[in-house]
Chains A and B, each alone.
Chain A
């Protein structure tokens, strides 16, 4: 009781909303700015509404690959002498890369044509290296004390910078130039790196997980964050270029700055950098209409069974109830753990799957590793029975709220986390305030119970079973 009071009191004492400035540039790009003490550093985010859900057939893995290519430089950064001298040589390399990929796909890597092209490619790369340097962009950042990173999710590609406050103008200038005209100098090197990531991911549950997304939302999208190794091997420069051209427009992106800077100065620099990127048409919104639920076997490499429930986008009013329902089931632990011990080698808790997960539709899911035991059907039957038996109460709801609040606070602990959260909300809800507040206190027990009732209805779930 005392603890509950302390908790309620604590949550009511959360700090008031800080002073945030939102700037819309004339090309449609929006920025959110929040000065915050950060040890003379600024956390910067450039987020593009461009992720795996935007890939079309034949483009699996391209969004992620583009993120890797984005640091190869620009027509200014990375050219040893002059861009007009480098461009034809680099173009020769990329044309040969294109033809080599086609030859490998059609006739195999050991075919005479592929090997001849490989020889020409190596020679072209050597000629290009006289004029170009794919490490120059990252060296510029390293020399300026800027730490960078980037991630690609189903929804968005996010570029992060941890920037010394005095180099903010440089970071904005470099990012704007990279956004406007990235040069793919590092195509073959990065394809190696991405290929390895893809191979590593194959060892996880991604096969069944991708299938689950396909079952849940249908369509002909690949639903694969990195693409399979075969997908990655076949990616060509022109495919990445087409994807970039389709989606990387300023009005399809947002930015965020959080840290030690003066707002007026930052706005001036934004006008001198990002605002100079020409406006281009915005890509059409992706259609994520849920597909009919059902059960389907999927051939793959891992013996997993995944159960998914379509859940609302995080921007919807009923989303917090779904989040708390998942947490309550996780905290209660019993049903899933029991099934794990009895019927599966291992399993996940019921959790929000990483999916089109920032603001569009979510999946709540649970994964069972059925390694060799042939008892998948029994696992599913008992899992649904455990859901029906599950009776949430007020105490459990309170615990789930505490955990959810803490998880949200963890995301907002650093300036980088705040910048990301602000950017996400600016992009998907156009309302930065929701990034810094939570709605868990408004969720009633009835709302959570309704979620569980819906879960037990066959129309709300999809199952993917992957069998080797």
Chain B
């Protein structure tokens, strides 16, 4: 009887489900952690740096055996440099260089040339700079760079091709107007400044269609001078390869550097920007803070700060609201200003509670910053580990961007070395500089419920 009972009990245990019944074979019953070994000190990726005859700086990293060469051309012109009423001018100018004819080549011939090389230039425009990114098979590096050089030096901006480009870009603006992700980026820009500036003016299909060719030509003359370019390269390259491929660019006269206009005044009051989408249940939130100019070192400090804030917000929301899908952020600098953004995603039902919680926590932190040196040390270590996983092109492009944005204060050392100089005090100081209570801009997109009491968190703007 007793044996039968034991058998019954044992039989009940064998009905364990979903993995709890699985047994590891004895040979696999080791602790994987016991195989951990002392980490080997990493030599960070250090981009090589050279200067062409006309002063254009080139950062590059060798990648033996890589089949492609990745190229990023950084241009010292961004949204801040677009005159009021002409949003999209930089995008149109750069795309026009690659797609609207060059020198004696018609737009069609130029396009076919790029297609034969398998090259598709991608243009992105940021606040204080813009970038053309392209890649090509290693053996096609030289001919591809000749095309890049031509696009920067002698764009012809053929009228009908420019009209087509404007139509395409305007359609894109219209199509993207309803997409939450784009709205978020767009709203961050609008939130950061008054609309009476290049930086804050919204993308507009109508304004883009109205851009005159003369304005594009003038913008190209200003922005595409060699003095405004920094190049980042990664691939199976030597210095000799780099110099040979960039010979056409090296032959151009350096020209003048762009002088950026002063930044527009920062927002004076706390606002909530709502952009509801009818679908799904996820809500994406960005809490955005404007700062004064940020140095190269500030941006490194900022990465530690974002890591710290993300950890605090994650733990806090998990403990209070239960639902948080992700937390991250970034620190960006433009000419004369900086932007610190903390982002998180949560669920529709608890979105207001979560935003309220986060803004309250930020306010509390402003009065009493809690991070000890030990915590900052741990964060620095984590960031250094993460930096180890960055791609080589990401490292070299970041160096080129840093050079463009910070000029002579640019720190050429690898970022993992710069992390060692970040102190807990610097992190606290940057937080206090950025997250001034009463001035935060809270952007909420996705499945927002407009009925929740958003007005309690700031003046509501629903674009």
Q: Which of A4, A6, A278, A413 contacts B66 (CB 8 A)?
A: A413
**CB-CB contacts below 8 Å: B102-137 with A:** 112-113, 115-119, 135-137
| Contact of B37 with A by CB under 8 A | yes
Residues of B close to A193: CB separation below 8 A: 325
| Contact of A237 with B by CB under 8 A | yes
Residues of A close to B35: CB separation below 8 A: 167, 169-170, 173
| Contact of A430 with B by CB under 8 A | no
Q: How far is the CA of A41 from the CA of B39 in the complex (A)?
A: 12
Show 24 residue pairs from A and B whose CB-CB distance is below 8 angstroms, ordered by the A residue: A6-B143, A18-B65, A36-B65, A76-B30, A77-B33, A91-B20, A91-B21, A94-B20, A140-B32, A140-B33, A164-B39, A164-B40, A166-B40, A167-B37, A173-B30, A177-B32, A183-B22, A184-B19, A238-B17, A240-B18, A399-B115, A405-B137, A406-B118, A410-B135
- Smallest CB separation, A300 vs chain B (Å): 14
Q: How far is the CA of A167 from the CA of B45 in the complex (A)?
A: 20
Q: How far is the CA of A176 from the CA of B24 in the complex (A)?
A: 10
Residues of B close to A331: CB separation below 8 A: 115
| Contact of A75 with B by CB under 8 A | yes
**Contact A412 to B118, CB < 8 A, known contacts A181-B24, A183-B19:** no
**Contact A15 to B32, CB < 8 A, known contacts A199-B281, A202-B279, A276-B27:** no
Q: How far is the CA of A41 from the CA of B43 in the complex (A)?
A: 12
| Contact of B49 with A by CB under 8 A | no
Mark the stretch among B265-273, B385-393, B411-419 that contacts chain A: B385-393
- Smallest CB separation, A53 vs chain B (Å): 23
Closest to B62 in A: A37
Q: How far is the CA of A39 from the CA of B68 in the complex (A)?
A: 18
| Contact of B214 with A by CB under 8 A | no
Residues of A close to B325: CB separation below 8 A: 193, 196
Digit string of A277-307 for contact with B (CB within 8 Å is 1, else 0)? 1100000000000000000000000000000
Q: Which of A14, A90, A276 contacts B67 (CB 8 A)?
A: A14
**CB-CB contacts below 8 Å: A190-230 with B:** 192-193, 196, 199-200, 202-203
Verify B65–A37 contact, CB threshold 8 A: yes
Verify B17–A95 contact, CB threshold 8 A: yes
| Contact of A187 with B by CB under 8 A | yes
Digit string of A8-40 for contact with B (CB within 8 Å is 1, else 0)? 011101110010000000000000000011011
| Contact of A380 with B by CB under 8 A | no
| Contact of B280 with A by CB under 8 A | yes
Verify A278–B20 contact, CB threshold 8 A: no
Digit string of B388-403 for contact with A (CB within 8 Å is 1, else 0)? 1101100000000000
Q: Which of B28, B115, B279 contacts A402 (CB 8 A)?
A: B115
**CB-CB contacts below 8 Å: A309-338 with B:** 331
**Contact A39 to B282, CB < 8 A, known contacts A15-B65, A405-B118:** no
| Contact of A104 with B by CB under 8 A | no
Verify A87–B20 contact, CB threshold 8 A: yes
Majority secondary structure of chain A interface residues (helix, strand, loop or mixed): helix
Verify B115–A403 contact, CB threshold 8 A: yes
| Contact of A398 with B by CB under 8 A | yes
Determine the interface band of chain B, counting residues with CB < 8 A from chain A. Answer: 35 or more
Verify B139–A181 contact, CB threshold 8 A: no
| Contact of A124 with B by CB under 8 A | no
Interface residues of B (CB under 8 A from A): 13, 16-25, 27-33, 35-40, 42, 45, 64-68, 70, 112-113, 115-119, 135-140, 143, 175, 279-282, 323, 325, 347, 382, 385-386, 388-389, 391-392
| Contact of A102 with B by CB under 8 A | no
Closest to B42 in A: A40
Q: How far is the CA of A237 from the CA of B70 in the complex (A)?
A: 45
- Smallest CB separation, B124 vs chain A (Å): 18
Verify A181–B32 contact, CB threshold 8 A: no
Closest to A239 in B: B18
Verify B140–A187 contact, CB threshold 8 A: no
Q: How far is the CA of A413 from the CA of B393 in the complex (A)?
A: 11
Q: Which of B66, B137, B280, B385 contacts A203 (CB 8 A)?
A: B280
| Contact of A241 with B by CB under 8 A | yes
| Contact of A180 with B by CB under 8 A | yes
Verify A7–B116 contact, CB threshold 8 A: yes
Q: Which of B32, B40, B137 contacts A77 (CB 8 A)?
A: B32
- For B29, B135, B137, the residue with the greatest tally of chain A CB atoms inside 10 Å of its CB is B137
Verify B118–A40 contact, CB threshold 8 A: no
Beyond the given pairs A76-B30, A406-B119, A410-B68, 19 more chain A to chain B contacts, judged by CB atoms under 8 angstroms and listed by A's residue number, are A3-B143, A6-B139, A7-B117, A9-B139, A14-B137, A14-B139, A76-B24, A76-B31, A91-B21, A98-B18, A166-B39, A167-B35, A177-B28, A180-B24, A199-B282, A202-B279, A202-B280, A238-B18, A406-B135
Please provide the 8 A-B residue pairs with the shortest distance between their CB atoms, ordered closest to farther: A406-B118, A10-B139, A237-B18, A174-B32, A409-B67, A170-B35, A402-B118, A173-B32
| Contact of A59 with B by CB under 8 A | no
Closest to A18 in B: B65
Residues of B close to A147: CB separation below 8 A: 386, 389
Q: How far is the CA of A398 from the CA of B444 in the complex (A)?
A: 47
Q: How far is the CA of A98 from the CA of B17 in the complex (A)?
A: 10
